[in-house]
Structure 1
Amino acid sequence: MPLVLALTEAPCLQLLDLSSPRLALDDHPSRLLCHALARNTTLKLLSLEGWTFRIEVESDSLAVFSELLRYTSVRELSLCNARLHLAVHEGPLARLGRRDDAGAELLRAAPPPACPAIVFLRLAGFQVTVNDRLALRGPLLLPFLAGFTSLSELDLSLDKSTIGGSSGSLLFIDDKILQQFFCCLAAHFRSLQSLRINFWRVTLEDSDRTMRQIAKQLKLCSLSFLRANGLIVTDSAKRVQMEHVFVQTILTHLQCLTWLCLDGVELTETQATSIGKCVRDRYPGTTLEISAKDIHVRSVKALVTAAEEGGRTEVVYTGGSSCRLKITKLQKGGRGKKK
């Protein structure tokens, strides 16, 4: 805490990395931290990765935190793997049942704070619990960020360690969650350039309808960079993997996409071929870079072969062992299109 309190006396401080998996703050020290950070007008990068905050909702700590976000000069904030534990003793949040929508109740209790300064926000592995019940993480956090009006880069990756964990620790992103996420993205984050959704586990019951719905929202987004490492997408009704269908929806409808990272995504040769054909025939841009590290070499070759078929695209390996592909659409004369 002495270091935190000294923030107000550091007029030249611009970068501060206090990452630690062992730091835990209760109400009072959390408020002191917020007050100190709000008074520092030079700080531009702040990392509190791994911290744990234990807050009483009935106290004024959330209001103090909202005030910090409104007046901070920080442009890059990292709360990766941090934990926010909310204790609620009164009202609807205190009576949440297993089937109740904790996110909706939280939005009613604590509307999205305004934050005009932060441009880069990293929330990979960040979790919010309400009375020891895990309530928010990954895509469920997005509605609470609607007031971050300057966001250019956002990381909502899930914790990789939960991929192979028990079913109780996993977040299964269903049709409703996925549609709400992209609807919110299109409505409030049209200037967002970079999004990370690593290790999302999507399970859909009506995949055709859901893909049609998110396609409409993707057309309204300005994303140019998408990282989806370790993505898992399953059609629970048909009991088939459909990562390739999700990727094709992204490729077809994100009008500004130029960089796509699919490291570790399990693709069969047939699925990779369909992605290659999609890039060749339906990708709206002229140049696309794909990172395909840890994808089976046969699948990568199938993607490249399909993309190059017909001579309409040129694929160049640019990343060596990291398996980076640069795909350029060609004019009939063989030259790349001019932007």
Structure 2
Amino acid sequence: MSVARPWPPGDRAAPRRAAPDPGPLAGLESIGWAELHHAYGPAVDVPGQLRSLLSADAGARGWARHQLWGNVYHQGTRWQASCHVVPFLTELVADPATPDRAAVLALLRAVALGDRDDTQLPFDPGREFAKAESVTGDDVAATLSLLYGGAAGDGDEQFVDAVAVSWDRDAYLAAARISDRFAAWTDDPDPAIAAGAAELLVWFPATASVLARLRDVPGTAGHEVARASANLSLSYLAPGEASIDDRLTALLTAAGSFGVQLTAAVALALRLGDRLPDAALRILAEARDHAGEIDARTFPIPWDRSLLGFAALALHRIGLSP
């Protein structure tokens, strides 16, 4: 983590509101934002930006999202204030009255997980955040002084990187503590919310109720992308769980969507290796013939890797070249 501060995008000041915030932002004023820092300094502007996500003005909402992306997720980094934003973003996504919920969910994922993609699955938070275990309060204070207070470093501030990892960890843990909430979104009427929630769940320890939610996402019309996203998440969760393998096997012959069939085949290959059913192998081999049905525009799964890329990954897993 560089000790060079990002250039401030504008006036950071924000007036405090006397009245408590209602609904999804209840408790916003109970956070000591002035004592917390984001990428540009004290986080006094964050409450106003969160409130603006509920504005009737689309321009104001877009501005608020832009500011939050820069403040609490700055080019993939998380900051002292980032973990405190996670519960409020979660409440906003959970409220059907929130405008632009899919965009808020994308922001929530970024704050909780940074730029992580499926190459880091299955995710081991203990290993990923091990460097944070050594961080002390003095390390945090010294890092803040270097970043915002004009303190001169001696060029050997290794603790700064550890503090950055601790802020990353804190944002992740803030989401992990409430990850069961995300499972309820897998049957949301907005396909982007349902599919995004299914992807988000793969990053956190899966409870029995979360696994049941992912297993039971329907594959019927209107739910195909969410079902496919759930299949990909199940590639990495609860290995050896027979009920999941059975569900994925049944989806190989599901009517309607090749994307659902293909992601079920991918999941079985990643879970079972060369013990996958013959039907799964056939689907993987045919993936390129269905490229037009599963490209990002036609079948927009919220994963960085394309479905053809997942098919290639699955074939590699069982020792075959795509």
Normalising by the residue count of structure 1, what TM-score does the alignment of the two structures yield? 0.39
Higher share in helix: 2
Normalising by the residue count of structure 2, what TM-score does the alignment of the two structures yield? 0.40
Q: Which fold has the larger relative contact order, with Cα–Cα distance below 8 Å and residues 6 or more apart in sequence?
A: 2
Higher share in strand: 1
